[in-house]
Amino acid sequence: MAWMLIDFDVTYKEIMDFLEESVPMTLLCIEVDEPYYFSAIGYFHDIKMTQKIFYSYAQNTIKTKLLNDPDFTYDYLDEDQVEAVDYFKAKEA
């Protein structure tokens, strides 16, 4: 689901920050200094709850962008963005 939200200029960092604050999870990170490398993986304690919470977050984020951001006028969305609007049922009637 996250890749669909990325099409609306939401970063993976913003998504992870939201999930860390909203659902119980364990986050494992690897960081190397030379050459710099960072990787992380999250394990969600209740995946069904996480899916519901993230779906709602994505739906609300897309709805807000459609209503308030001129860069995301429905008639000018690309194919991937329209697919995300449909998937998250984010288009106002």
Residue 93 predicted with pLDDT over 90: no
Structural domain includes residue 7 = yes
Q: Is the omega angle on the peptide bond into residue 35 within 30 degrees of 0, that is, cis? A: yes
Name the token pair of 87. Answer: 């998937």
Domain housing 44: 2-87
The answer, as to whether pTM is greater than 0.75, is yes
For 7-64, how does the pLDDT look when each residue is reduced to its tens digit (9 = 90+)? 999 998 899 899 999 999 998 988 888 898 888 888 999 999 999 999 999 999 999 9
* 3-state secondary structure at position 41: strand
What pLDDT, in 10s, does the model give residues 61-87? 999 999 999 999 999 999 999 999 999
Q: Establish if 27 belongs to a structural domain.
A: yes
Tell me the three state secondary structure of residue 38: strand
Structural domain count, the chain: 1
State the amino acid at position 55 in one-letter form. Answer: Y
User: Does a structural domain hold residue 49?
Assistant: yes
Whether 66 is covered by a domain: the verdict is: yes
Domain assignment of residue 93, yes or no: no
